[in-house]
Amino acid sequence: MIQLQKSTIHRRTILKAGVAAGALQIAAPYIVKAQGEQPIKIGVDNPLTGIYTALGKNENAGMALAAEQINAKGGILGRKVELLIEDSTSDKTDVAVQKARKLIQSDKVDFLIGNVNSSQAIAISQVAAELKVPHIDPGGHADVITGSSCQWTTFRVCNTGAMQGNAMAKPLVNIGKKIYIIAQDYAFGHSLADGLSKAAKEAGGTIVGTDFFPLGTTDYSATLIKARGANPDILVDLAAGDDGINSLKQAVQFGIDKQLHLAGMQQELEVLEGLPPEARVGTWLFEWYWNQPKDVPGVADFVAAIRKSTGKVPTARTWFGFAAIHSFALAANQAKALDAVKVCHALEGLKLPPEVACQPGQPFYRAEDHQLVPAVFVGHAQAKGTSDPEDLFVVDQVVQGPSFIPPVSETGCKLNYPS
Amino acid sequence: MTQVILFNVLNGLIVGAFYALMALGLSLILNLSGVINFAHGGFLALGAYLAYSMAPYIGFWGGLVFAPFVTAALGIIVEHVLIRRLYGRDPLYSLLLTFGLAYIFQDGLRYTWGAQSVPYQIPGWLASPLSASLFFLTGYRVFMVIIVALAVAALFLILGYTRLGIRIRAGTLDLDTVSVLGVNVRVLRNLNFGLGIYLAGLAGVLAAGLLGLSPTIGDQLIMPSFVAIIVGGLGSLPGTLAGGLLIGVAAGLTAVFFPAAQEAVIYVMMALVLLIRPNGLFGDAGRVQ
């Protein structure tokens, strides 16, 4: 009996082994083919928790749409695109770095994207350069990212403080000469404040005061009392996110908008939507806006697609994410390779086609510092949209990138490709 | 310049009154139950969101009245189900629990109301300055101070003259004896927790009128409240009140001379108080275990 059992097992084992071997032979070509069809992985290291959650999620929604469009058109080099999304948190730079390393070293992503927070974007850019992975910063605005800390692997979709300052200085000085600036006390706030101070002085304005307040300040009364005391023509509020909402809400409750002109540079739809109607005031710069003054090819389709997937109109953040993913696909398809050096060279000078650009003019990545040169939208906030409840901004003027981007020599960027 | 300083002192008192409201709630719970409630900011945010959702049906005033009660009811449930199990253990346990709860609250709010700030509107006549020269005295700020004053007065009346209040105060001093005398300590702690959370909910509704209403609204307000308790002295409610006012004024004054340090200054104050008067300005030595 025992012998019989043993022999049965033995026979079955052999049988199984035989079947497995046969299957391997049949399967072998498929395995190879499956390797060829392995998706191209793009790591997304953006905030999903904390104060920048809304901005991070909007950027990610744009990325998801872009990936879907790319896959529908055959992917990158014939392979599907897959997004690997990690939460960088909104303020913990060490977490952002750890996630960037995880995405590159353990998930083996081909490209990396991040981050809304400038400090995190700088750190991620250093990791990407060290590990030689092409990286796009979709929404961290600090100048150094494409300036003194620029890396051969890093490209940026959103604008620098200097760019916004140059674009906004003239419209502001036309309103009034005496300018008071309040800004957040970290890389982003300082970049914007420096950019505007320099450009406004060149345009004939005077900066009568600049105050930096800690990130996440809740009470702005003291700062506002001080700014008001300096008696400026314009109060420029450079705070972003919740800080922007809190400071504007309080400024309007103080009636400051009725005594002097409230303005700023980078304003976002996310902030205007979070404000009560009476606080939607002032002159601002939008880096991208969905309701543009003239019909531009691509915009309507983009707006409709995002509305379908999220139920809301795209914001500048959505477009940043959208443009970033498309940029990688365009560059890799053009280079016909995934090699970091080749893709980065292909990104240099890359012009965004109309369906990706979604704006008048043709944005391109400047080869010398890897900064995108897009148009910006200068206009004013409105309490309620006339035709659409999400239309909270009126574009008065479209300013083209080449007119406001400072020369490369002023950015302090020197790119060092590996030899 | 003198005017700017004077404005900021006055304004600091207004801001401080608000910190005090939150700190009093924290203090109540800490004194009787020994729980450092890190989820206080979560309850605050919940109160604000409830008022926001109630506003279309019962208006701003209805939200102001009912949202804190609903928040307090939830607080009573949370105490009953989770927090009471950790009484008598090392404070670290309840600290960890409420720390985790704070995260759960934040993500729950984000899941329910979205990550983006929502516009919370206050009545138009409150949202403007009372006079052109004292422009920082908006109707809403004055209203806030009045509500805080009323709430604080009511709290001290409850503690001073009602059976519940007297038992809470007695329990703060010696819970074992109060228990031996036949007071149901479990119910007492439960109601006391609810009272503290009511104050958090009220603070939340008031804060939403000044700040953008987002799931993280409580985070930025909770630390100054802890500082207010420590500066004022653990175990002393009048001390907590004074601590709140004091850090409000200090932050306001610092904003005039060195704006970037307006948040840091309250921690510097806390460090100084701990060095010079470790029990806080109004705390009694040996009172806190």
Ordered structural domains, chain B, with CATH: 2-276 (1.10.3470)
Query: Which pair of tokens denotes residue A6?
Result: 């043993």
d(CA A376, CA A419): 36
B212 vs A274: CB contact, 8 Å cut-off?
yes
Residues 194-223 of B with CB under 8 A from A: 207, 210-216, 219-221
DSSP for A288-348, written as a single string: S-SS-SS--TTHHHHHHHHHHHHSS---HHHHHHHHHHHHHHHHHHHHTS--HHHHHHHHT
- Distance of alpha carbon B103 from its chain centroid, rounded? 18
- How many CB atoms sit inside 10 A of residue A376's CB? 27
Which residues of chain A are within 8 Å of residue B11 when distances are taken between CB atoms?
Answer: 221-222, 225
Residue B143 sits at the chain A interface (C-beta within 8 Å): no
CA distances from A175 to A208, A237, A239, A281, B65 (A): 15, 15, 20, 15, 44
State the greatest distance between any 2 C-alpha atoms of chain B, in Å, as a whole number: 60
Compute the distance between CA of residue A418 and CA of residue B164 in angstroms, rounded to an integer. Answer: 74
Does position B27 have pLDDT exceeding 70, yes or no? yes
State both tokens at A229. Answer: 């005391």
CB A401 within 8 A of CB A363: yes
B105/A77 Cα distance (integer angstroms): 45
Tell me the H-state helices in B174-208: 175-180, 185-208
Query: Is residue B233 classed exposed, middle or buried when 0-12, 13-18 and 19+ CB atoms within 10 A define those classes?
Result: buried
Tens-place pLDDT, residues B86-138: 988 888 999 999 999 999 999 999 999 988 889 888 888 888 888 777 777 88
CA B289/CA B280 separation, integer angstroms: 14
| 3-state SS class at A21 | helix
Cβ B183 vs Cβ B173: under 8 Å: no
Burial degree of A80 (CB within 10 A; 0-12, 13-18, 19+)? middle
Q: Rounded CA gap, B150 and B175, in Å?
A: 29
Q: Do A214 and B263 touch (CB under 8 A)?
A: yes
Query: What is d(CA A302, CA A320) in angstroms, rounded to the nearest whole number?
Result: 12
Lowest-confidence region among A348-357, B26-35, B72-81: B26-35
Q: What are the chain B neighbours of A229 within 8 Å (beta carbons)?
A: 3-4
Predicted confidence band at B284 (pLDDT cuts at 50, 70, 90)? low
A214 has a chain B CB within 8 A of its CB: yes
Using CB atoms and an 8 Å cut-off, which of residues 13-32 of chain B contact chain A?
14-15
> Cα–Cα distance between A31 and A113 in angstroms, integer?
30
Closest Cα in chain A to B249 = A222
Counting every residue, how long is chain B? Answer: 289
Q: Which pLDDT value is given to residue A19?
A: 52
Strand partners, A137: A156
B280 Rama sector, left if φ>0, alpha if ψ -120 to 50, beta otherwise: left
With a CB cutoff of 8 Å and minimum separation 6, the contacts of B215 are: A53, B45, B106, B107, B109, B110, B113, B115
The span from the CA of A117 to the CA of A62, in Å, is 17
Which tens digits make up the pLDDT trace of A230-287? 999 999 999 988 889 999 999 998 889 988 999 999 999 999 999 999 999 999 999 9
Residue with tokens 């300040």, as numbered in its chain: A217
Q: CA–CA separation, A185 vs A192, rounded Å?
A: 11
> Cβ contacts (< 8 Å) between A246 and chain B: which residues?
210-212
CB spacing of B260 vs A185 below 8 angstroms: yes
Task: Note the pLDDT tens digit of each residue in B226-238.
Answer: 999 999 988 888 9
pLDDT, position B263: 85
Which of B4, B135, B216 comes nearest A226 by C-beta? B4
* B-proximal residues of A, 270-309, CB under 8 Å: 270-271, 273-278
CA distance B74 to B168: 20
Closest residue in chain B to residue A56, using alpha carbons only: B115
Average of per-residue pLDDT across B152-160: 94
Nearest Cα residue in chain B from A182? B259
CA A205 to chain centre: 30
Chain B: closest CA distance from residue A245 (Å): 6
pLDDT at B142 over 60: yes
Token digits of residue A66: 């872009």
Successive 10-residue mean pLDDT values, chain A, 419 residues: 40 50 44 62 93 91 96 94 94 94 96 94 96 96 94 96 93 94 90 92 94 87 87 94 90 90 94 92 96 92 96 96 97 95 96 96 95 96 92 95 94 90
Shortest CA gap A54–chain B (Å) = 5
**Partner-chain contact A229 B3, CB within 8 Å:** yes
Q: Average pLDDT, stretch B27-40? A: 92
pLDDT at B134 (0 to 100): 76
Which tokens sit at A380? Answer: 């004013």
Partner-chain residue, chosen from A213, A253, A274, that has the shortest CB–CB distance to B260: A213
What is the C-alpha to C-alpha distance for residues B100 and B39, in angstroms, rounded to an integer?
8
Q: CB-CB: which of B115, B135, B211 is closest to A254?
A: B135
Distance from CA of A60 to the nearest CA of B (A): 13
Which residues does chain B have within 8 Å of residue A226's beta carbon, measured at their own beta carbons?
Answer: 4, 8, 255-256, 259
